[in-house]
Copies of this chain bind each other. A is one copy, B any other.
Amino acid sequence: MTLSSLLEAAITGLVRFETVMQKEKLPRREREKLRQRQEILTAGLTLFSEKGFHNVSMHEIAEEAEFAIGTLYKFFQNKEDLYRALVLEQCSLFAAAFNEALEQGEDEIEKLRNYVRAQYKMFRSHLPFVRLFIAESRGVSYSIKAGLDQELRARYYRLLEKIASVFESGIRNKRFGNIASPYHLAVSLDSTIHAFLLLCLDEPEKHPFPEDPDTILNIFFQGMLNG
Contact = CB atoms under 8 A, between A and B. Distances in A.
B219 A184 contact: yes
Interface in A195-218: 195-196, 199, 202, 215-216, 218
A180 interface: yes
Contact of A135 (B139, B199, B216): B139
A140 B142 contact: no
**This chain: how many copies in the complex?**
2
Interface in A122-152: 134-142
Main secondary structure of the interface of A (DSSP, over half): helix
A221 B223 contact: yes
Interface stretch (A13-21, A47-55, A84-92): A47-55
A51 B219 contact: no
Given A174-B226, A222-B225, A187 B196 contact: yes
9 contacts: A52-B139, A135-B139, A137-B139, A139-B140, A180-B224, A192-B192, A219-B220, A222-B223, A223-B223
